[in-house]
Chains A and B, each alone.
Chain A
C-alpha cells in the first residue's frame, strides 16, 4: 500500500504568522492605557494627623466631600512621639484643589446630641473622613492637622457669623440653637475664651436669610433653662423650647430702646445678656464707683446687695471693708458700690443735657449738689424675714449738714443710720407701754374671780344635784304607772274601748234622727207618722226624742 500523495497547491503568503503578534500588542496597549489612566487619575497624597484613629481602616476608609468619595486612606501610622495618629490618604486628581491651605479634615462618626444628630449613616458604613476646602487660592499642602470636632458649618453655608461677649455661658455649647421669635435661625458654632479680655466669647452663625434680622439694635440673651418668675401677677414660666431647656440656647430680639444700646467688648459684635429682662433693659452706660462710710455694723448687707436711688435700682454693692481708727478704737464699715447713673433714666439724661461728659468728675459735682439737698446713703431692710439690707440713696430732710469733698475718688456719699434703728425704737416704745400695764393687779383680780367661781360650783354640786336626782326618780315612777294603764290587757283599757263603742252607736242613732227630722220637720209637732210606711230602721230614731 502506497502512501497517498497530497495535492500540492500554490503557495500562499501566511499572514497569520505575524498576525498573532497583534494579540499581545493589543493586550499591552490596553494594559498601558489603564496604567496611564489610573496614574492620571491619581491626585495628591496628603497626610492628616488626628488624636486617634478610631474607626479608620487602611484601604477602606474614604475621604468624602459633599458626600462624594474623593479619596481613600492608604496608610495609618503612629507619630514618632506617639501623641497622635498620622493618616495618609490618596485623593483623586479632580480633588487635588482641595488639598490646599485652609482645608479642614475631620473624622465623621455618629454624633448625637439633644435635638440633633449627625453622621448616622456611619453607624453601619463605618467612619469616613470629611473635608472642607479652605478659601480658594490657597497654597497646595500635603500635611494637615485634622479637626477632632466636625466644623459646624459645612460647605460654605450662607449666613452671618457673629461674636458675642458673655460673662456666663450657662449651658451653651457648640450646636446650641439660636431662636428668633421661637424660630431657630442659627446655632452656636464655637465657644472660647478671649485671649485679651479673658471673657467668654460665643461665636454664633445665623443662617441666611434670617441673618437680616440681626441689626445693631439686636440683643442676644441666654435662653437656657426655665425662667420662673413669681410676682404680684402670679407665677410665670418662660422657656424657648424643650431642647433649649435641656441643651441651652440663645434668643435674640430687637431692643425697644434703639441701636446704640449694645455695649460689647473689643472684638465682639454683641453682648450676650443673662436673661431677656436684662437684655431688654435700657443701657447701663459706664459704671461709676461710689464709697460710703457707716459708723454702725451692717449685719445683713452682702456683696451684690442692690443700691437704689429713690426706689430705682441703679447699682450694687461690690465690697464691704471694715476700717479701724486707732485713736477712737472705732471700727467703721466702708462699703464700695458700683452704680450705673444711666439707670436713673430721664433724670440723668436731663442732668447730662447741657453736654457735660459722663465722667466721675461730673458725678462728683452732681453728688455734691444732691448731698447739699439732703442726699444720703442709708441701709434699709429689704426683707424682714431674712434680714437682708439694701442701700438706699435717698433724700433725708432731717439729716444734718455734712461737708462733701468733691475731689475724693471714688466719690464719697455721706450716710445716715439704718432705718432699722427707728424700727427698733418703735418696738421698744411698744414694749415700754406693755411694761406699764398693771399686769400684777389684773392677775390678782383674775385669781380672786376664779376662786369665787370655784365656790359657786361647789354649792351647785352639794345642794342642787341631789334634789334633781330625786325629781328624776319620781318622774320615772309616774311614767311607769302610765305605762301599766295603757297595756293591752288592763281593765282601764277595756272599759275605755267599750265606752267608745257605745258613744259610736249613740252617734249613729243621732244621725238617723237628724236625717228623719230633715225630711219630716213636722214630726217634732205631730209625732212620728207610722202610716206612711217609714222603714223599720227609723224606729229607734223616734225613741230618741222621747228620751
Chain B
C-alpha cells in the first residue's frame, strides 16, 4: 500500500534547515531560517524543461564544431568529438573510443532522454513505475558529475601539449558548447523536483 505523503498530511519542509512546517496555500517562509518554504519546488517542471531544451540546443554545435585544434609538423587538424571517437576506433584504441563515446555521447543523450521521460510522466501524473523513475532520477544526478570528462580531457591535453612549433593543441569553440550542455543538463536535474514523481493518483505505486 502507498505510504502517505507529507502533502496529504498538510505538512511541508524547509529545504535549507529541514524544519517541518504546515503546508499553506501560499508561499511562506521558514520560521527558523526565513528561507522560502514551498510544498513543491516552484515551477520545477517548467525550469527543467527550459534547461533541457537549452542542453539539446547546445548539443548540436558541441558536436558539429571542433572541440580541439592540434597542429603538428605534419599538419593542422581540427577534431570534433565524433571525429575523435572514429579516429581512436580506427587506430585500434577501442577502449579510449568507448570511454569518450560514453562520456560525450551516451551520457548526455541518456540524460536528455531520462529527464525528458521524467518530465513527460510527471506532466501526465503517471503512476507507471514510480520507484524505477525515482531511481532513474538518482542515476541522472549521479552521472552528472562525470559529464565533464571531455572538458577535462581537452583542458589537460591543451595545457600539456605545448611544444611550440613541433606540436601544440588549443581548445576550440565546440568544447564551450559541450560545457554548456553539461551545465544545462545538471541544471535541469537540479531544477527537477523528484517529489513530483509521487504526485498524482494516490494508491498506485
Using a CB–CB distance below 8 Å, which chain A residues touch chain B? 3-9, 11, 14, 16-17, 20-21, 23-24, 27-28, 30-31, 34, 60, 124-126
> Which residue of the partner chain, among B54, B75, B184, contacts A124 with CB atoms under 8 Å?
B75
Question: Is B148 part of the contact surface with A, judged by Cβ < 8 Å?
Answer: no
A27 touches B43 (CB 8 A): no
* Residues in A whose Cβ lies below 8 Å from that of B19: 4
- How far is B57's CA from A425's CA once the two chains are assembled, in angstroms? 114
Contact for B57 among A31, A124, A125, A126, CB less than 8 A: A31
List 10 contacting pairs A-B, 8 Å CB cutoff, sorted by A. Answer: A4-B20, A5-B21, A7-B31, A20-B43, A20-B46, A23-B184, A27-B57, A28-B57, A31-B58, A31-B60
Task: Considering the complex, give the chain A residue whose CB is closest to the CB of B62.
Answer: A31
Name the CB-closest residue of A to B14.
A6
Task: State which residues 26-76 of B face A: CB under 8 Å.
Answer: 26-32, 37, 42-43, 46-47, 50-51, 53-54, 57-58, 60-61, 65, 73-75
The answer, yes or no, to whether B151 is at the interface (CB within 8 Å) is no
Does B144 have its Cβ within 8 Å of any Cβ on chain A?
Answer: no
Q: Are the C-beta atoms of A3 and B22 separated by less than 8 Å? A: yes
A6→B36 CA distance, assembly (Å) = 10
The reply to whether the CB of B24 lies closer than 8 angstroms to some CB of chain A is: yes
Complex Cα–Cα for A34 and B176 (A): 13
Contact A14 B31 (CB under 8 A): no
Which of B24, B42, B50, B65 is packed against the most chain A CB atoms within 10 Å?
B50
A6-B30, A60-B75 as given contacts; A34 in contact with B65, CB under 8 Å: yes
B24 contact set on A, CB distance < 8 A: 6, 8
Q: Is B139 an interface residue (CB 8 A)?
A: no
Interface range, B side: 35 or more
Once bound together, how far apart are the Cα atoms of A8 and B24, in whole Å? 9
A442–B102 alpha-carbon span in the complex (Å): 124
Q: Is A23 in contact with B50, judged by CB distance below 8 angstroms? A: yes
Cβ of B11 under 8 Å from chain A: yes
- Measured CB to CB, the closest approach of chain A to B44, in angstroms, equals 11
Interchain CA distance A8-B28 in the complex, whole Å: 5
Q: Which residues of A contact B58 (CB under 8 A)?
A: 27, 31
Q: Which residues of A contact B42 (CB under 8 A)?
A: 14, 17
**In the complex, chain B residues whose CB is within 8 Å of the CB of A16:** 43
**A3 in contact with B11 (CB, 8 Å):** yes
**Docked pose: A20 CA to B191 CA in angstroms:** 11
Known: A34-B65, A60-B77, A124-B74. A7 touches B53 (CB 8 A): no
Interface of B is mostly: mixed
**Interface contacts beyond A7-B28, A20-B191, A27-B184: sample of 10 additional A-B pairs, CB < 8 Å, sorted by A:** A6-B29, A6-B31, A7-B29, A14-B42, A20-B51, A23-B50, A30-B61, A31-B60, A124-B73, A125-B73
Question: Nearest-CB distance from A73 to chain B (Å)?
Answer: 13
Say yes or no: B54 contacts A24, CB within 8 Å. Answer: yes
- Establish whether residues A23 and B54, one from each chain, have CB atoms under 8 Å apart when the complex forms: yes
**Interface membership of B116, Cβ < 8 A:** no
Given the interface pairs A6-B37, A31-B58, the reply to whether A17 lies near B75 with Cβ below 8 Å is no
> Once the chains are docked, how many angstroms separate the CA of A24 from the CA of B191?
14
| In the bound complex, CA of A20 to CA of B31 (Å) | 28
Name the B residues within 8 Å of A30 (CB-CB).
Answer: 61
Which residues in window 1-28 of B have CB below 8 A to A?
11, 19-22, 24, 26-28
Q: How far is the CB of A7 from chain B (nearest CB, A)?
A: 5
Return B17 CB to nearest CB of chain A, in Å: 11
Q: Smallest distance from the beta carbon of B39 to chain A beta carbons, Å?
A: 11
Is B84 on the interface with A (CB-CB < 8 A)? no
Chain A residues whose C-beta falls within 8 Å of the C-beta of B51 in the assembled complex: 20, 23-24
Interface pairs A-B: 5 shortest CB-CB: A6-B28, A125-B75, A24-B54, A24-B53, A27-B57
How far, in whole Å, are A126 and B32 apart by their CA atoms in the complex? 71
A9-B28, A11-B27, A28-B57 are contacts. A126–B75 as well, Cβ < 8 Å? yes
How many angstroms between the C-alpha atoms of A7 and B73 in the bound complex? 69
Residues of A within 8 A of B29 (CB): 6-7, 9
Contact yes or no, A20 B20, CB < 8 A? no
* Chain A contacts for B28, CB-based, 8 A: 6-9
Q: How far is the CA of A125 from the CA of B21 in the complex (A)?
A: 70
Set A3, A9, A24, A34: member contacting B61, Cβ < 8 A: A34
Q: Which residues of B contact A9 (CB under 8 A)?
A: 27-29
A8, B51: Cα distance in complex, Å: 31
Point out the residue from B11, B22, B54, B74 that lies within 8 Å of A126, measured CB to CB. Answer: B74
Chain A residues positioned under 8 Å from B77 (CB to CB)? 60
Q: Is the CB of B46 within 8 A of A27?
A: no
> Which residues of A are found within 8 Å of B27, using beta-carbon distances?
9, 11
Cβ contact within 8 Å between B43 and A17: yes
User: How many Å from the CB of B34 to the closest CB on chain A?
Assistant: 8
User: A23 to chain B: which residues have CB within 8 Å?
Assistant: 50-51, 54, 184
> Which residue in B21, B22, B31, B54 is a CB contact (below 8 Å) of A27?
B54
Q: Which residue of A lies closest to B12 (CB)?
A: A6
Cα distance A60–B70 in the bound complex, in angstroms: 13
A26, closest chain B residue (CB): B54
- What are the residues of chain A within 8 A of B57 when measuring CB–CB? 24, 27-28, 31
Inside 8 A of A5's CB, which chain B residues have their CB?
21-22, 31
* Pick from A11, A20, A60: contact of B50, CB under 8 Å: A20
- Determine the distance from Cα of A28 to Cα of B61 in the docked complex, in whole angstroms: 10
Chain A, Cβ-Cβ closest to B176 = A30
Give A9 to B35 CA distance when docked, in angstroms: 12
Which residues of the other chain, B, contact A3 by a CB distance below 8 angstroms?
Answer: 11, 20-22
